Amino acid sequence: MAPVKISIIGAGSAVFSMRLVNDLCKTKGLAGSLVSLMDVDEQRLNGVHELASRYVRELGADLRFEKTTSLETCLHEADFVINTALVGGHAYLNKVRAIGEKHGYYRGIDAQELNMVTDYCTITNFNQLKFFVDVARLMEKICPNAWLLQTANPVFEGTNLISRCSNIKVVGFCHGHYGVIEMAEALGLDENKMDWQVAGFNHAIWLNRFIYDGRNGYELLEKWIQEGNLEKWRPKNPFDLQMSPAAIDMYRFYGIMPIGDTVRNSTWYYNKDFETKKKWYGEPWGGPDSEEGWKWYEQQLKTTTDAIDFLSKNRTLKLLSLNTYLKFLPKGAVPVEMKKEVEVFSSPDKLSGEQHIPFIDSLVNNNARRFVINVPNEGYIEGVPNGVFVEVPAIVDKDGWHVEKIEPKLTDKVLRFYLWPRMMRMEWALHAIMNGDKAALIEFLMRDPRTKTLEQAKAVIEEILNLPENQQMKTHYEKGLKL
Protein backbone atom coordinates (compact mmCIF):
# COMPACT_ATOMS: atom_id res chain seq x y z
CA MET A 1 0.00 0.00 0.00
CA ALA A 2 1.42 3.37 -1.05
CA PRO A 3 -0.72 6.45 -0.31
CA VAL A 4 -0.18 9.45 -2.59
CA LYS A 5 -1.65 12.90 -3.13
CA ILE A 6 -3.72 13.15 -6.30
CA SER A 7 -4.81 16.63 -7.36
CA ILE A 8 -7.82 16.98 -9.66
CA ILE A 9 -8.03 20.36 -11.42
CA GLY A 10 -11.53 21.09 -12.71
CA ALA A 11 -13.06 18.71 -10.16
CA GLY A 12 -16.46 20.37 -10.59
CA SER A 13 -16.90 18.11 -13.62
CA ALA A 14 -18.83 15.77 -11.36
CA VAL A 15 -19.22 12.61 -13.46
CA PHE A 16 -15.55 12.43 -14.40
CA SER A 17 -14.37 13.26 -10.87
CA MET A 18 -16.65 10.60 -9.42
CA ARG A 19 -15.26 8.05 -11.86
CA LEU A 20 -11.80 8.77 -10.49
CA VAL A 21 -13.07 8.59 -6.89
CA ASN A 22 -14.84 5.33 -7.72
CA ASP A 23 -11.62 3.81 -9.05
CA LEU A 24 -9.54 5.08 -6.13
CA CYS A 25 -11.94 3.62 -3.59
CA LYS A 26 -11.65 0.24 -5.28
CA THR A 27 -7.85 0.27 -5.71
CA LYS A 28 -6.52 -1.16 -2.45
CA GLY A 29 -2.90 -0.36 -3.26
CA LEU A 30 -3.69 3.38 -3.06
CA ALA A 31 -5.58 3.24 0.25
CA GLY A 32 -4.87 6.18 2.53
CA SER A 33 -4.35 8.58 -0.38
CA LEU A 34 -5.34 12.26 -0.28
CA VAL A 35 -7.44 13.64 -3.12
CA SER A 36 -7.35 17.40 -3.62
CA LEU A 37 -10.48 18.60 -5.41
CA MET A 38 -9.96 22.00 -7.07
CA ASP A 39 -12.40 24.13 -9.07
CA VAL A 40 -13.17 27.83 -9.43
CA ASP A 41 -16.92 27.08 -9.26
CA GLU A 42 -17.39 26.71 -5.52
CA GLN A 43 -20.97 25.45 -5.74
CA ARG A 44 -20.06 22.59 -8.06
CA LEU A 45 -16.94 21.89 -6.03
CA ASN A 46 -18.97 21.57 -2.83
CA GLY A 47 -21.39 19.20 -4.54
CA VAL A 48 -18.63 16.89 -5.75
CA HIS A 49 -16.90 16.95 -2.36
CA GLU A 50 -20.16 15.99 -0.65
CA LEU A 51 -20.82 13.13 -3.06
CA ALA A 52 -17.26 11.85 -2.93
CA SER A 53 -17.19 11.88 0.86
CA ARG A 54 -20.48 9.99 1.10
CA TYR A 55 -19.35 7.47 -1.50
CA VAL A 56 -16.17 6.73 0.45
CA ARG A 57 -18.14 6.25 3.68
CA GLU A 58 -20.63 3.89 2.03
CA LEU A 59 -17.84 1.79 0.54
CA GLY A 60 -15.83 1.86 3.75
CA ALA A 61 -12.79 2.96 1.75
CA ASP A 62 -9.68 4.60 3.15
CA LEU A 63 -9.50 7.86 1.23
CA ARG A 64 -9.18 11.49 2.35
CA PHE A 65 -10.29 14.68 0.60
CA GLU A 66 -9.53 18.35 0.58
CA LYS A 67 -11.40 20.93 -1.47
CA THR A 68 -10.01 24.25 -2.64
CA THR A 69 -10.43 27.02 -5.19
CA SER A 70 -6.67 27.69 -5.00
CA LEU A 71 -4.47 26.09 -7.63
CA GLU A 72 -1.39 26.52 -5.41
CA THR A 73 -3.05 24.69 -2.51
CA CYS A 74 -4.17 21.92 -4.82
CA LEU A 75 -0.63 21.41 -6.16
CA HIS A 76 1.12 21.54 -2.77
CA GLU A 77 2.95 18.22 -2.22
CA ALA A 78 1.05 16.59 -5.10
CA ASP A 79 2.37 13.34 -6.55
CA PHE A 80 -0.06 13.25 -9.47
CA VAL A 81 -1.98 16.11 -11.07
CA ILE A 82 -4.99 15.36 -13.27
CA ASN A 83 -6.01 18.39 -15.35
CA THR A 84 -9.61 18.13 -16.55
CA ALA A 85 -10.44 21.87 -16.60
CA LEU A 86 -12.21 23.56 -19.50
CA VAL A 87 -11.52 27.28 -19.11
CA GLY A 88 -14.68 29.24 -19.85
CA GLY A 89 -16.71 26.05 -20.12
CA HIS A 90 -18.95 25.16 -23.03
CA ALA A 91 -20.47 28.64 -22.91
CA TYR A 92 -17.24 30.11 -24.29
CA LEU A 93 -16.93 27.46 -26.99
CA ASN A 94 -20.52 28.10 -28.09
CA LYS A 95 -19.95 31.87 -28.17
CA VAL A 96 -16.84 31.55 -30.35
CA ARG A 97 -18.55 29.04 -32.63
CA ALA A 98 -21.47 31.46 -33.12
CA ILE A 99 -19.04 34.19 -34.15
CA GLY A 100 -17.41 31.83 -36.63
CA GLU A 101 -20.75 30.90 -38.17
CA LYS A 102 -21.72 34.56 -38.39
CA HIS A 103 -18.67 35.05 -40.63
CA GLY A 104 -19.44 32.03 -42.82
CA TYR A 105 -17.59 29.23 -40.99
CA TYR A 106 -19.95 26.31 -40.43
CA ARG A 107 -19.47 24.97 -36.87
CA GLY A 108 -16.87 27.67 -36.16
CA ILE A 109 -13.29 28.36 -37.19
CA ASP A 110 -11.89 25.57 -34.98
CA ALA A 111 -13.75 23.01 -37.10
CA GLN A 112 -10.90 22.15 -39.42
CA GLU A 113 -9.87 19.46 -41.86
CA LEU A 114 -8.85 16.41 -39.74
CA ASN A 115 -9.96 18.15 -36.54
CA MET A 116 -13.74 18.29 -36.40
CA VAL A 117 -14.35 17.56 -32.69
CA THR A 118 -16.49 20.34 -31.26
CA ASP A 119 -14.65 20.92 -27.96
CA TYR A 120 -11.16 20.27 -29.37
CA CYS A 121 -10.42 23.93 -30.06
CA THR A 122 -6.91 24.95 -31.04
CA ILE A 123 -6.68 28.44 -32.53
CA THR A 124 -9.40 30.27 -30.55
CA ASN A 125 -8.75 28.59 -27.23
CA PHE A 126 -5.85 30.73 -25.99
CA ASN A 127 -7.17 30.78 -22.41
CA GLN A 128 -7.30 26.97 -22.27
CA LEU A 129 -3.86 26.39 -23.75
CA LYS A 130 -2.30 29.18 -21.66
CA PHE A 131 -3.80 27.55 -18.57
CA PHE A 132 -2.13 24.25 -19.48
CA VAL A 133 1.24 26.02 -19.51
CA ASP A 134 0.48 27.94 -16.30
CA VAL A 135 -0.32 24.68 -14.48
CA ALA A 136 2.87 23.02 -15.71
CA ARG A 137 5.08 25.98 -14.76
CA LEU A 138 3.46 26.22 -11.33
CA MET A 139 4.10 22.51 -10.87
CA GLU A 140 7.78 23.14 -11.60
CA LYS A 141 7.84 25.46 -8.59
CA ILE A 142 5.51 23.63 -6.19
CA CYS A 143 5.69 19.91 -7.04
CA PRO A 144 8.48 19.46 -9.64
CA ASN A 145 8.57 15.67 -9.31
CA ALA A 146 4.84 15.18 -9.81
CA TRP A 147 3.28 13.63 -12.90
CA LEU A 148 0.84 15.68 -14.97
CA LEU A 149 -1.94 13.54 -16.40
CA GLN A 150 -3.32 15.76 -19.17
CA THR A 151 -6.98 14.95 -19.74
CA ALA A 152 -8.63 18.21 -20.82
CA ASN A 153 -8.83 18.83 -24.55
CA PRO A 154 -7.05 19.49 -26.80
CA VAL A 155 -4.77 16.68 -25.59
CA PHE A 156 -2.63 16.56 -28.76
CA GLU A 157 -1.85 20.28 -28.84
CA GLY A 158 -1.79 20.40 -25.04
CA THR A 159 0.78 17.69 -24.37
CA ASN A 160 3.08 19.00 -27.09
CA LEU A 161 2.75 22.58 -25.80
CA ILE A 162 3.39 21.60 -22.18
CA SER A 163 6.48 19.58 -23.10
CA ARG A 164 7.91 22.54 -25.03
CA CYS A 165 7.23 25.07 -22.26
CA SER A 166 8.20 23.08 -19.15
CA ASN A 167 10.16 20.11 -17.84
CA ILE A 168 7.21 18.47 -16.09
CA LYS A 169 6.57 14.77 -16.68
CA VAL A 170 3.41 14.85 -18.77
CA VAL A 171 1.35 12.03 -20.27
CA GLY A 172 -1.94 12.39 -22.15
CA PHE A 173 -5.10 10.37 -21.55
CA CYS A 174 -8.17 9.59 -23.63
CA HIS A 175 -10.58 6.67 -23.87
CA GLY A 176 -11.08 6.71 -27.64
CA HIS A 177 -9.29 3.37 -28.04
CA TYR A 178 -12.35 1.67 -26.57
CA GLY A 179 -13.74 2.01 -30.08
CA VAL A 180 -11.92 -1.29 -30.67
CA ILE A 181 -14.27 -2.93 -28.18
CA GLU A 182 -17.29 -1.31 -29.82
CA MET A 183 -16.16 -2.74 -33.15
CA ALA A 184 -15.69 -6.19 -31.61
CA GLU A 185 -19.22 -6.09 -30.19
CA ALA A 186 -20.65 -5.07 -33.56
CA LEU A 187 -18.85 -7.98 -35.22
CA GLY A 188 -19.90 -10.43 -32.50
CA LEU A 189 -16.31 -11.12 -31.40
CA ASP A 190 -14.98 -12.25 -28.03
CA GLU A 191 -12.70 -9.46 -26.79
CA ASN A 192 -10.47 -12.02 -25.03
CA LYS A 193 -9.60 -13.66 -28.36
CA MET A 194 -8.46 -10.41 -29.96
CA ASP A 195 -4.88 -9.31 -30.53
CA TRP A 196 -5.11 -5.62 -31.36
CA GLN A 197 -3.01 -2.52 -31.49
CA VAL A 198 -3.75 1.13 -32.25
CA ALA A 199 -1.35 3.96 -33.03
CA GLY A 200 -1.40 7.59 -34.11
CA PHE A 201 -2.12 10.89 -32.35
CA ASN A 202 -4.85 11.70 -29.85
CA HIS A 203 -8.21 11.56 -31.65
CA ALA A 204 -6.26 10.26 -34.64
CA ILE A 205 -5.58 6.57 -33.92
CA TRP A 206 -5.77 3.64 -36.30
CA LEU A 207 -6.18 -0.12 -35.90
CA ASN A 208 -2.86 -1.26 -37.32
CA ARG A 209 -3.12 -4.77 -35.85
CA PHE A 210 -6.34 -6.76 -35.78
CA ILE A 211 -6.05 -10.51 -35.24
CA TYR A 212 -8.91 -12.63 -33.98
CA ASP A 213 -8.34 -16.16 -32.75
CA GLY A 214 -5.28 -16.42 -34.99
CA ARG A 215 -7.13 -15.07 -38.03
CA ASN A 216 -6.91 -11.73 -39.85
CA GLY A 217 -9.69 -9.75 -38.16
CA TYR A 218 -10.16 -7.52 -41.18
CA GLU A 219 -11.58 -10.53 -43.02
CA LEU A 220 -14.37 -10.55 -40.44
CA LEU A 221 -14.97 -6.85 -40.96
CA GLU A 222 -15.21 -7.43 -44.71
CA LYS A 223 -17.72 -10.21 -44.08
CA TRP A 224 -19.80 -7.85 -41.91
CA ILE A 225 -19.86 -5.32 -44.72
CA GLN A 226 -20.65 -7.89 -47.44
CA GLU A 227 -23.59 -9.21 -45.42
CA GLY A 228 -25.25 -5.80 -45.72
CA ASN A 229 -24.78 -4.67 -42.14
CA LEU A 230 -23.54 -1.23 -43.16
CA GLU A 231 -26.85 -0.51 -44.87
CA LYS A 232 -28.70 -1.65 -41.74
CA TRP A 233 -26.53 0.40 -39.37
CA ARG A 234 -28.22 3.11 -37.31
CA PRO A 235 -26.59 5.11 -34.50
CA LYS A 236 -27.89 4.55 -30.96
CA ASN A 237 -26.77 8.07 -30.02
CA PRO A 238 -24.72 10.84 -31.69
CA PHE A 239 -21.43 9.38 -30.41
CA ASP A 240 -22.12 5.89 -31.80
CA LEU A 241 -19.93 6.22 -34.90
CA GLN A 242 -17.45 3.35 -34.85
CA MET A 243 -19.32 1.36 -37.53
CA SER A 244 -20.77 4.35 -39.38
CA PRO A 245 -20.58 4.91 -43.15
CA ALA A 246 -17.85 7.50 -42.49
CA ALA A 247 -15.74 4.96 -40.57
CA ILE A 248 -16.07 2.33 -43.28
CA ASP A 249 -15.37 4.87 -46.02
CA MET A 250 -12.19 5.93 -44.19
CA TYR A 251 -11.23 2.26 -43.86
CA ARG A 252 -11.64 1.80 -47.61
CA PHE A 253 -9.38 4.75 -48.37
CA TYR A 254 -6.67 4.37 -45.71
CA GLY A 255 -6.56 0.57 -45.58
CA ILE A 256 -7.14 0.22 -41.82
CA MET A 257 -9.94 1.27 -39.46
CA PRO A 258 -10.09 4.64 -37.73
CA ILE A 259 -10.81 4.15 -34.04
CA GLY A 260 -12.90 6.22 -31.63
CA ASP A 261 -12.86 9.97 -32.14
CA THR A 262 -10.75 9.52 -35.27
CA VAL A 263 -14.02 8.88 -37.10
CA ARG A 264 -15.13 12.40 -36.13
CA ASN A 265 -11.71 13.85 -37.00
CA SER A 266 -12.10 13.37 -40.70
CA THR A 267 -12.45 15.72 -43.67
CA TRP A 268 -14.91 18.20 -45.16
CA TYR A 269 -16.03 15.33 -47.36
CA TYR A 270 -18.17 14.18 -44.42
CA ASN A 271 -18.72 17.49 -42.66
CA LYS A 272 -19.47 20.37 -45.03
CA ASP A 273 -23.09 20.82 -43.82
CA PHE A 274 -25.75 19.18 -41.68
CA GLU A 275 -27.22 17.06 -44.49
CA THR A 276 -23.76 15.75 -45.34
CA LYS A 277 -23.10 14.90 -41.70
CA LYS A 278 -26.36 12.95 -41.48
CA LYS A 279 -25.44 10.95 -44.56
CA TRP A 280 -22.11 9.83 -43.15
CA TYR A 281 -22.77 9.79 -39.40
CA GLY A 282 -26.40 8.75 -39.36
CA GLU A 283 -29.88 10.13 -38.80
CA PRO A 284 -31.13 12.09 -36.96
CA TRP A 285 -28.09 13.72 -35.38
CA GLY A 286 -25.33 13.58 -37.97
CA GLY A 287 -22.80 12.77 -35.26
CA PRO A 288 -21.99 14.66 -32.05
CA ASP A 289 -20.40 17.66 -33.77
CA SER A 290 -23.42 18.81 -35.76
CA GLU A 291 -25.82 21.41 -34.43
CA GLU A 292 -28.31 18.68 -33.46
CA GLY A 293 -25.71 16.27 -32.11
CA TRP A 294 -24.16 18.89 -29.85
CA LYS A 295 -27.61 20.00 -28.67
CA TRP A 296 -28.24 16.38 -27.65
CA TYR A 297 -24.93 16.27 -25.78
CA GLU A 298 -25.61 19.50 -23.89
CA GLN A 299 -29.06 18.26 -22.86
CA GLN A 300 -27.50 15.05 -21.54
CA LEU A 301 -24.95 17.15 -19.69
CA LYS A 302 -27.69 19.25 -18.10
CA THR A 303 -29.64 16.17 -17.06
CA THR A 304 -26.53 14.71 -15.46
CA THR A 305 -25.63 17.98 -13.72
CA ASP A 306 -29.16 18.27 -12.34
CA ALA A 307 -29.02 14.69 -11.09
CA ILE A 308 -25.64 15.25 -9.42
CA ASP A 309 -26.98 18.40 -7.76
CA PHE A 310 -30.02 16.51 -6.48
CA LEU A 311 -27.91 13.63 -5.16
CA SER A 312 -25.51 15.95 -3.37
CA LYS A 313 -28.35 17.78 -1.60
CA ASN A 314 -30.35 14.67 -0.64
CA ARG A 315 -27.96 13.00 1.73
CA THR A 316 -30.26 10.15 2.71
CA LEU A 317 -30.01 8.59 -0.76
CA LYS A 318 -27.69 5.60 -0.94
CA LEU A 319 -25.05 5.99 -3.66
CA LEU A 320 -24.45 2.24 -3.78
CA SER A 321 -28.09 1.59 -4.69
CA LEU A 322 -28.81 1.02 -8.37
CA ASN A 323 -32.34 2.37 -7.88
CA THR A 324 -30.90 5.74 -6.85
CA TYR A 325 -29.55 6.25 -10.36
CA LEU A 326 -32.24 4.55 -12.40
CA LYS A 327 -34.80 7.24 -11.55
CA PHE A 328 -32.71 9.79 -13.47
CA LEU A 329 -32.43 7.74 -16.65
CA PRO A 330 -34.76 8.26 -19.63
CA LYS A 331 -38.16 6.61 -19.55
CA GLY A 332 -38.46 3.35 -21.44
CA ALA A 333 -35.42 1.44 -22.66
CA VAL A 334 -32.27 2.34 -20.75
CA PRO A 335 -29.33 2.99 -23.10
CA VAL A 336 -26.59 0.38 -22.68
CA GLU A 337 -23.87 2.95 -22.03
CA MET A 338 -25.92 4.61 -19.25
CA LYS A 339 -26.71 1.27 -17.68
CA LYS A 340 -23.02 0.39 -17.61
CA GLU A 341 -22.19 3.73 -16.00
CA VAL A 342 -24.67 3.39 -13.15
CA GLU A 343 -23.77 -0.27 -12.62
CA VAL A 344 -20.18 0.81 -11.98
CA PHE A 345 -21.12 3.41 -9.36
CA SER A 346 -23.58 1.13 -7.59
CA SER A 347 -21.11 -1.77 -7.50
CA PRO A 348 -18.63 -2.42 -4.66
CA ASP A 349 -15.82 -3.46 -7.01
CA LYS A 350 -16.35 -2.37 -10.66
CA LEU A 351 -13.95 0.19 -12.18
CA SER A 352 -14.98 2.99 -14.52
CA GLY A 353 -12.69 2.14 -17.44
CA GLU A 354 -10.79 5.43 -17.17
CA GLN A 355 -7.06 4.78 -17.21
CA HIS A 356 -5.84 7.39 -14.70
CA ILE A 357 -6.05 5.53 -11.39
CA PRO A 358 -4.82 2.17 -12.76
CA PHE A 359 -1.91 4.12 -14.36
CA ILE A 360 -1.03 5.64 -10.99
CA ASP A 361 -1.34 2.25 -9.31
CA SER A 362 0.98 0.70 -11.91
CA LEU A 363 3.64 3.35 -11.30
CA VAL A 364 3.35 3.43 -7.53
CA ASN A 365 2.80 -0.26 -6.75
CA ASN A 366 4.51 -1.83 -9.78
CA ASN A 367 1.29 -3.45 -10.98
CA ALA A 368 2.17 -3.79 -14.66
CA ARG A 369 -0.77 -3.17 -17.00
CA ARG A 370 -1.38 -2.34 -20.62
CA PHE A 371 -2.56 1.18 -21.45
CA VAL A 372 -3.07 3.33 -24.52
CA ILE A 373 -1.42 6.65 -23.64
CA ASN A 374 0.02 9.80 -25.22
CA VAL A 375 3.80 10.01 -24.83
CA PRO A 376 6.68 11.62 -26.75
CA ASN A 377 7.64 9.65 -29.83
CA GLU A 378 10.98 7.88 -29.59
CA GLY A 379 10.91 6.01 -32.87
CA TYR A 380 7.66 4.26 -31.92
CA ILE A 381 5.89 5.49 -35.07
CA GLU A 382 8.28 5.68 -37.99
CA GLY A 383 7.91 8.85 -40.02
CA VAL A 384 6.79 10.97 -37.04
CA PRO A 385 9.50 13.21 -35.54
CA ASN A 386 10.81 12.24 -32.12
CA GLY A 387 9.37 14.36 -29.34
CA VAL A 388 5.94 14.74 -30.96
CA PHE A 389 3.34 13.09 -28.71
CA VAL A 390 1.88 9.90 -30.11
CA GLU A 391 -0.95 7.73 -28.80
CA VAL A 392 0.32 4.18 -28.50
CA PRO A 393 -0.12 1.00 -26.42
CA ALA A 394 2.37 0.57 -23.58
CA ILE A 395 3.00 -1.53 -20.50
CA VAL A 396 3.37 0.67 -17.42
CA ASP A 397 5.16 -0.34 -14.21
CA LYS A 398 7.33 1.32 -11.55
CA ASP A 399 9.92 2.17 -14.21
CA GLY A 400 7.45 4.09 -16.37
CA TRP A 401 6.05 3.19 -19.77
CA HIS A 402 7.36 0.58 -22.17
CA VAL A 403 5.81 1.17 -25.57
CA GLU A 404 5.02 -1.88 -27.67
CA LYS A 405 6.63 -2.29 -31.05
CA ILE A 406 4.11 -0.93 -33.52
CA GLU A 407 3.63 -3.91 -35.78
CA PRO A 408 2.56 -3.92 -38.51
CA LYS A 409 3.40 -0.33 -39.35
CA LEU A 410 0.72 2.20 -40.13
CA THR A 411 -0.12 2.38 -43.82
CA ASP A 412 1.59 4.99 -45.98
CA LYS A 413 -1.77 6.66 -46.59
CA VAL A 414 -2.42 7.04 -42.85
CA LEU A 415 1.05 8.45 -42.29
CA ARG A 416 1.26 10.79 -45.28
CA PHE A 417 -2.33 11.86 -45.87
CA TYR A 418 -3.66 11.86 -42.31
CA LEU A 419 -0.99 12.07 -39.60
CA TRP A 420 1.38 14.48 -41.34
CA PRO A 421 -1.36 17.04 -42.16
CA ARG A 422 -2.78 16.70 -38.63
CA MET A 423 0.68 17.19 -37.13
CA MET A 424 1.30 20.30 -39.22
CA ARG A 425 -1.95 21.86 -38.02
CA MET A 426 -0.78 21.22 -34.46
CA GLU A 427 2.59 22.81 -35.24
CA TRP A 428 0.84 25.80 -36.82
CA ALA A 429 -1.40 26.35 -33.78
CA LEU A 430 1.54 26.00 -31.37
CA HIS A 431 3.70 28.37 -33.39
CA ALA A 432 0.93 30.99 -33.28
CA ILE A 433 0.38 30.82 -29.52
CA MET A 434 4.02 30.42 -28.51
CA ASN A 435 5.06 33.43 -30.57
CA GLY A 436 1.96 35.62 -30.39
CA ASP A 437 1.84 35.45 -34.18
CA LYS A 438 -1.50 36.94 -35.18
CA ALA A 439 -0.64 36.71 -38.86
CA ALA A 440 -0.31 32.95 -38.45
CA LEU A 441 -3.91 32.75 -37.22
CA ILE A 442 -5.11 34.60 -40.30
CA GLU A 443 -2.94 32.53 -42.64
CA PHE A 444 -4.29 29.39 -40.93
CA LEU A 445 -7.78 30.45 -41.99
CA MET A 446 -6.66 31.34 -45.51
CA ARG A 447 -6.05 27.61 -46.06
CA ASP A 448 -9.64 26.88 -44.99
CA PRO A 449 -12.04 26.13 -47.93
CA ARG A 450 -14.75 28.21 -46.23
CA THR A 451 -12.63 31.37 -46.42
CA LYS A 452 -13.58 33.45 -49.45
CA THR A 453 -11.60 36.64 -48.76
CA LEU A 454 -8.75 37.91 -46.61
CA GLU A 455 -11.16 40.40 -45.05
CA GLN A 456 -13.40 37.54 -43.90
CA ALA A 457 -10.51 35.82 -42.09
CA LYS A 458 -9.35 39.06 -40.48
CA ALA A 459 -12.86 39.99 -39.36
CA VAL A 460 -13.59 36.73 -37.56
CA ILE A 461 -10.25 36.79 -35.74
CA GLU A 462 -10.78 40.41 -34.68
CA GLU A 463 -14.27 39.76 -33.31
CA ILE A 464 -13.04 36.80 -31.26
CA LEU A 465 -10.05 38.77 -29.93
CA ASN A 466 -12.39 41.55 -28.81
CA LEU A 467 -14.50 39.34 -26.58
CA PRO A 468 -14.29 40.56 -22.94
CA GLU A 469 -12.87 37.22 -21.74
CA ASN A 470 -10.16 37.37 -24.43
CA GLN A 471 -8.41 40.55 -23.30
CA GLN A 472 -5.22 38.63 -22.46
CA MET A 473 -5.41 36.80 -25.78
CA LYS A 474 -5.78 40.10 -27.65
CA THR A 475 -2.77 41.65 -25.89
CA HIS A 476 -0.74 38.48 -26.50
CA TYR A 477 -1.32 38.54 -30.25
CA GLU A 478 -1.27 42.29 -30.82
CA LYS A 479 2.06 42.68 -29.02
CA GLY A 480 3.54 39.48 -30.41
CA LEU A 481 4.31 38.11 -26.93
CA LYS A 482 6.15 34.83 -26.32
CA LEU A 483 4.41 32.21 -24.21
Residues involved in catalysis: 175, 261
Distance CA 194, CA 190 (A): 7
Q: Determine which helix (DSSP H) or strand (DSSP E) holds 395, and give its type and residue range.
A: strand 389-397
User: How many helices (H) and strands (E) in the chain?
Assistant: 21, 13
- Find the angle CA(401)-CA(407)-CA(413) to the nearest 5 degrees: 115
Nearest by Cα to 279 from 289, 288, 267, 271: 271
The answer to whether 153 is a known ligand-binding residue is yes
Distance CA 478, CA 362 (A): 46
Across 84-241, the runs of DSSP E, i.e. the strands, are 147-150, 169-172, 194-201, 204-212, 215-216
Distance CA 187, CA 218 (A): 11
**In the 3-class helix/strand/coil scheme, how is 23-73 assigned residue by residue?**
HHHCCHHHCCEEEEEECCCHHHHHHHHHHHHHHHHHHCCCEEEEEECCHHH
Residue 278 contacts residue 229 (beta carbons within 8 Å): no
Residue 160 C-alpha from the chain's centroid: 15
Sequence length of the chain is 483
The answer to whether 174 is a known ligand-binding residue is yes
290-to-97, 200, 243, 285, 422 alpha-carbon distances in Å: 12, 25, 18, 7, 21
Distance CA 174, CA 203 (A): 8
Distance CA 420, CA 401 (A): 25
Nearest by Cα to 478 from 456, 462, 460, 454: 462
Distance CA 312, CA 328 (A): 14
Distance CA 298, CA 300 (A): 5
Distance CA 446, CA 454 (A): 7
Residue 97 contacts residue 125 (beta carbons within 8 Å): no
Cα dihedral value 158, 160, 165, 171, nearest 10 = 80
- Find the angle CA(329)-CA(334)-CA(340) to the nearest 5 degrees: 90
Residue 38 contacts residue 11 (beta carbons within 8 Å): yes
- Which stretches of 314-393 are DSSP H helices? 322-326, 336-345, 356-365
Question: Residues comprising the binding site for substrate?
Answer: 153
Question: Residues comprising the binding site for Mn(2+)?
Answer: 174, 203
